[in-house]
């Protein structure tokens, strides 16, 4: 009995010491930006960090995204290697590293999903001076749902106290706004006009396909912190994109012109509706349109959602299903009215076989859109296209 009590006291003492050590470190970092949202968190975190660096603010960052990375003050980065499953205590390490590099600012992507751990990571670990929410969409409904309104409530857990809050979500933001009011935090939305102010020429300056909303949101944060718009934008355009960023590679392959667009990291149907509309207009003259869906058997809800979405894409000539758990996508697509002949399953096939099938279906020209998940065969297929792309477009 006494041993149990002693262990309990030691554990409580350790947790208390860890908490107050973290608080002391946070007080020495005057700018703390915490980025949450459904889509685009990694990209926006990178954009903000790059903008602050360009403005002369010594900044470190951390993204979770498709591949967790620690971003150094000089813009270089390193993969965060984990032992076991991801744990939100990882955020405490970021604060410690920030102090080791004498950073004035940290930009951290939220890695929590459960509503309580989202609240905990903000109010006990980061205690941000600026909160950011990219958007609110129908994703991770099994954890934060079952509705988009519930997702918003979960995301509202990272609204900071007595700080500033920025979001590009223009529809589902009532709860976010109320949380800001309750916490004594200012609230600002990136408007349609703000996004439109990011010109096509400015977007063309990025090495990947970036969204105007993301850029406008990062610019709001940077200018709030005193970085001039032009300086911030130039810094953003020079930043290294996340591995899951929307990239486009163009190939000239034995007389065929193939455009590959990596949209694996988007995940949710609303994002894919927006992206497909963009690609449909951008590649209006191609002969074939192909969607490659990388499925995961541990994400059946997402596969089902994307299978239902397939019915809203009648101009897609063929859906190639790769990964695991593809039968969920196929059943949902067939039930939604997608003809059987437009669905082709390539489970267990190597990347080279998938590539050859794409070439065979492409005709003289095609746009190939990767959706679903970046993990596994998804990232390998992206590398396969990248390594065969025109030299000027390679990473």
Q: List the pLDDT tens digit at each of the 395 positions of the chain.
A: 667 666 666 656 655 656 678 778 999 999 999 999 988 899 999 999 999 999 999 999 999 866 789 999 999 999 888 777 778 888 998 899 999 999 999 999 999 888 889 999 999 999 999 999 999 987 767 777 678 888 999 999 999 999 999 999 999 999 999 999 999 999 999 999 999 999 989 998 998 888 899 999 999 999 999 999 999 999 999 998 887 777 788 888 888 899 999 888 776 777 788 888 878 777 888 999 999 999 988 888 889 989 999 998 888 999 999 999 999 999 999 999 999 999 999 988 889 999 999 999 999 999 999 998 878 888 889 888 888 886 545 44
Task: Look at residue 361 and give its three-state secondary structure.
Answer: helix
Inter-residue contact 35 to 128 (CB < 8 Å)? no
- Measured over the CA atoms of residue 343, residue 388, residue 378 and residue 148, the dihedral's sign is negative
C-alpha distances (whole Å) from 57 to each of 304, 308, 387 are 44, 46, 35
Residue 13 confidence (pLDDT):
60
Q: Report residue 216 as tokens.
A: 């406008």
Q: Is the N-terminal amide bond of 208 cis, ω within 30° of 0?
A: no
Three-state DSSP state, 379: helix
E runs forming strands in the chain = 31-36, 59-63, 69-71, 77-79, 105-109, 130-133, 164-167, 186-189, 247-253, 256-262, 288-295, 318-323, 343-345, 365-371
Write out 169-185 in H/E/C secondary structure: CCCCCHHHHHHHHHHCC
Between CA 42 and CA 107 the distance in angstroms is 10
Strands across the sheet containing 130-133:
77-79, 69-71, 59-63, 105-109, 31-36, 130-133, 164-167, 186-189
Name all domains of the chain by residue range, CATH numbers in brackets.
26-237 (3.40.1190.10), 247-393 (3.90.190.20)
Helix ranges (H only) for 269-321 are 269-282, 300-310
Sort residue 136 into left (φ over 0), alpha (ψ -120 to 50) or beta. beta
Q: Which of 47, 95, 104 is nearest to 73 (CA)?
A: 104
Q: CA-to-CA distance for 63 and 243, rounded, in angstroms?
A: 11
- pLDDT tens digits for 89-115? 889 988 999 999 999 999 999 998 888
> What count of other Cβ atoms lies within 10 Å of the Cβ of residue 27?
9
Cα 187 from Cα 132, distance rounded (Å): 10
Are 228 and 57 within 8 A, CB to CB?
no
Across the strands, what pairs with 322? 294
CA 384 to CA 156: how far, in whole Å?
39
Taking phi first (over 0 means left), then psi (-120 to 50 degrees means alpha), and beta for anything else, what does residue 331 get? alpha
Within 13 Å of residue 270, how many CA atoms lie on the same side as its CB? 11
């Amino acid at each position: 009995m006494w041993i149990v009590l002693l262990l309990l006291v030691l554990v409580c003492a350790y947790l208390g010491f860890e908490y107050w050590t973290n608080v002391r470190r946070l007080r020495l970092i005057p700018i703390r930006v915490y980025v949450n949202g459904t889509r685009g968190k990694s990209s926006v975190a990178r954009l903000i960090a790059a903008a602050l660096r360009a403005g002369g603010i010594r900044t470190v960052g951390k993204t979770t995204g498709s591949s967790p990375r620690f971003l150094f003050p000089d813009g270089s980065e390193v993969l965060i290697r984990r032992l076991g499953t991801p744990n939100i205590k990882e955020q405490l390490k970021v604060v410690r590293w920030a102090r080791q590099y004498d950073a004035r600012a940290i930009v951290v992507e939220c890695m929590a999903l459960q509503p309580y751990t989202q609240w905990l990571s903000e109010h006990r670990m980061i205690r941000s001076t600026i909160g950011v929410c990219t958007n609110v969409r129908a994703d991770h409904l099994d954890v934060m749902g079952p509705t988009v309104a519930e997702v918003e409530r979960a995301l509202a857990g990272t609204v900071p106290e007595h700080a500033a809050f920025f979001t590009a979500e223009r529809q589902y933001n009532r709860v976010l706004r109320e949380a800001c009011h309750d916490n004594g935090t200012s609230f600002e939305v990136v408007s349609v006009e703000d996004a439109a102010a990011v010109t096509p020429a400015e977007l063309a300056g990025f090495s990947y396909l970036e969204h105007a909303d993301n850029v406008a949101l990062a610019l709001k944060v940077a200018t709030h912190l005193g970085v001039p718009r032009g300086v911030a934008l130039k810094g953003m355009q020079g930043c290294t994109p996340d591995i899951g960023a929307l990239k486009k590679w163009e190939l000239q392959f034995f007389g065929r012109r193939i455009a590959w667009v990596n949209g694996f990291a988007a995940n949710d149907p609303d994002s894919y509706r927006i992206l497909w509309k963009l690609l449909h207009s951008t590649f209006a003259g191609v002969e074939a349109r192909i969607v490659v869906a990388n499925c995961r058997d541990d994400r059946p809800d997402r596969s089902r959602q994307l299978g239902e979405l397939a019915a809203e894409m009648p101009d897609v000539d063929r859906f190639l299903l790769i990964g695991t758990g593809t039968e969920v996508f196929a059943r949902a697509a067939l039930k939604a009215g997608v003809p059987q002949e437009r669905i082709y399953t390539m489970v267990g096939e190597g990347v080279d076989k998938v590539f050859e099938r794409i070439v065979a279906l492409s005709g003289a020209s095609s746009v190939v859109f990767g959706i679903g998940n970046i993990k596994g065969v998804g990232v390998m297929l992206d590398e396969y296209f990248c390594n065969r792309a025109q030299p000027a477009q390679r990473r």
